[in-house]
Structure 1
Amino acid sequence: MSVVTELIRTEADGTISFGNYELIQKEKMDGYEHEGDLYKVKTYREITKLERNGMFVYESVPGTAVHGLSVTGDTMEFEVEGSEDAQITVQMEDGAEYSVYIDGADAGSVKANMGGKLVLSVELDPGRNAAIKIVKGN
Structure 2
Amino acid sequence: MGNSPLSEWRVTQAMKIFGPNSRLSGTHHWWWQRLSAISLIPLSLWFVFSILSQLNSNYADVIKWVSSAPVTLLLILFFCAVFYHAKLGLEVIAEDYIHNPSILALSKALIKTTVILGALVSVIAIIKISFFTS
**TM-score interval for Structure 1 and Structure 2 normalised by the shorter chain:** under 0.3
Going by fraction, where is strand more abundant, 1 or 2?
A: 1
Name the TM-score, length of structure 1 as normaliser.
Answer: 0.21
| RCO comparison, higher one (Cα < 8 Å, 6+) | 2
Going by fraction, where is helix more abundant, 1 or 2?
A: 2
Name the TM-score, length of structure 2 as normaliser.
Answer: 0.21
